[in-house]
Structure 1
Amino acid sequence: MKESDLHGDFLTGGLVHDAWKRLDPVVHQTPIRTSATTNLRTGKNIYFKMENQQKTGAFKFRGASYKLMRLSRSELDRGVITASAGNHAQGLALAAYKLGVKATIYMAEATPEAKVEATRGYGAEVVLTGESFQEAFEASLKQQERCGATYVHPFDDYDIMAGQGTIALELLEQVNTIDTIVVPIGGGGLISGIAVGAKSVNPDIKVIGVQAKAAPAMHTAYHRGVVKKLDKVSTIAEGIAVKQPGENTLPLINNYVDDIVTVSEEEIADAIVNMLERGKSLVEGAGAAAFAGLLSHNDQIDSRHCGVIVSGGNFDISRMAEIQSLANQLKPEQSHAALSF
């Protein structure tokens, strides 16, 4: 399919609906969690979409699986290559393993060991390079030119976005009263797919993105119209630590997303601790970002039935003391650790 046709099919929601149909026997239908105390505190009915319970521990398996389904046999036979902050790596590695396809994954040197080892465990070759996703991404592009493998972008690809967008269709089937969906943002693949998918069902649904203040490239581009590559990103939400917006995702976000907010490191940490202590769910920084955004910007979110995407649970347990310390830095009136599920 031509790029222009693919773009058009994605914008209508057709690609997301096709992905939902084809992924049905492949992915987990992840559960919805609710919390009476969170509902009372926010004044909303909150529905947590637990993608941390997806295969490989994150939503990324959806997009990677759909992308490989759409490749030709000759493209698969060349092997696949990508760069990742960790979750796309695992999703692509497992999807490739199931098809008997060689996968090579470039990741930043600081990627949590749990994500690196899990990716290797699915049979992929892992190359660690650079201080952030951006450096790993640039190195992977150079290697792709040398080896001729098929590139599978972690977010700036319509098939990948469509696969991620199946979360919205699944959520709306599980809870048909949803009027707002809060979504973490890194490069924008998840929120682009969710926004297009959700609005293909109900154009009135609001989609709100949440980005780490320490890695605000998409927030800046969305609110100020300034697209630039950040010099440095350092956040406990390494899954959304992206230095610049995607070329394909940014226009979609500008057109389909209703707002983007940011959260501090302390607010993300507080959400992680809350989900673990009260919700009995281990969630990584990126996975807790949407919940942190809801808690920190609740007054700005006009919703009665709000979906919150818990995008991943591949947490580096060695950082737990750091997370607890950050969470403790919030003032008592800012902390939500007393919430219970």
Structure 2
Amino acid sequence: PNAWENDLINLNGDIDNSEQWHASFNYTSAKLSGFLSGKYDFYATYNQANFYDLFGPTIRSRKGINAGINYQRSLIFDNPRNLDLNVGTSVFYGLNQSPEFQQINFSDDDFDTNLFYNIDASLSYRDLKGSVGAVDAEKGIKSSLVLSNSITKGNFFPKISGTFDLGFQLPVDHTSFWIRNSFGNAFSKNINPFTRFGFAAFGNNYIDQYASKMYRGPFAFAGLGYDAERTIIAKSYFKSTLELALPPVRYRKIGFFNLFATHSHLTLFAGGLFTKNFQPITNNNQISYIRDSESFRNIGFQIDTKLVMFSHLSSTISFGWARAFEVGNTNKSFDEWMVSLKF
């Protein structure tokens, strides 16, 4: 079929003929010792597709051709302390949308004939701990630093982003307080699929396989859904979220032999997002840029309930709500409800 319609996601129009065929290739190898030991991933996709896009609202499928190689190595492997190095290079052709952010779209004739090369390197550190019986990390540090550079038509577009999460265990059993921070900056005012950041939504699909607390991601902004009349796109940003994780509620008998719940976990969060962007203006065939600074706030909660299906299949059903506020300008607010089943 060239169209998919349901009540969970709104897609405009039919799929073009050039997007109806999909193909992918993945190969993983590892070198266990010696020079450049580590894990190697080789991949190539034509019209990259993701099954869970059928349920929405997060869309990870992309039009075009993408191929690359990733190298991963653990520099420190001493649980719970870990430091990982990732280096990758990739090539993109036929883009009409940012590879990372679905709300950053372009008309088909903007970049679909451009060949983009992207080089990236990242360091990820984590030292997370929890007491006996914990269902999530209760204290510690988690941080990352990502450097990338895209190249097209002989021009370079470097970008940097990072995260820093700090957690404290509170006196009440299995209760913790977290400060989650992230930042990013693209060093070019020019607009293309690699020079802007986008923020929206919890990040969960109605059915998917990813982490349950996607709102913790640096580019999630719970409360502002993908279908909201407002979008947040930035050249540079700083985001900070305060999170209170409450003790889990454990169940002795809820459910049946082949479907039962083990516990529920409630988290409360409130955050702020500060962005800067540059809007292009053409005057007498000359392009100039107007600087635009904006601020946003959000509050919300999420409840995760751990389920066991058919005695062995572990899954999580999540329910959440958030409200996002635009500070200044129109001072509008937006609400988002989230339900997600994770396998």
Report the TM-score when normalising by structure 2: 0.29
Greater relative contact order (Cα < 8 A, sep 6+): 1
Larger helix share, 1 or 2: 1
Report the TM-score when normalising by structure 1: 0.29
Structure of higher CA gyration radius: 2
